[in-house]
């Protein structure tokens, strides 16, 4: 089952159980501007924490 659905050029829908590793497996070309500090942390936990991670101080947060 796909955990990532591309919806246009800049919008994606993510399964809340997806982690960064899952996202990058399913989308070779896509890189998030802000990444969780752990590739195995579910994306929903990352968002609940406010989207803080690598790049958040220089590029904003989700």
pLDDT in tens, 16-52: 888 888 888 888 767 777 677 777 878 777 777 766 6
Euclidean distance between CA atoms 16 and 24, whole angstroms: 15
Note the pTM of the prediction, 2 decimals. Answer: 0.55
Residue 9 in this model has a pLDDT that exceeds 50: yes
Euclidean distance between CA atoms 32 and 23, whole angstroms: 9
Q: How confident is the model at residue 62 (pLDDT cuts 50, 70, 90)?
A: very low
pLDDT of residue 61: 47
Which alpha helices (H) appear in the chain, and where do they start and end? 20-26, 43-48, 56-59
């Amino acid at each position: 089952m796909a955990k990532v659905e591309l919806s246009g050029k800049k919008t994606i829908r993510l399964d809340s159980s997806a982690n960064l590793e899952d996202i990058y497996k399913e989308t070779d070309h896509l890189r998030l501007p802000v990444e969780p500090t752990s590739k195995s942390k579910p994306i929903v936990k990352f968002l609940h924490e406010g989207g803080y991670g690598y790049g958040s101080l220089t590029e904003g947060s989700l």
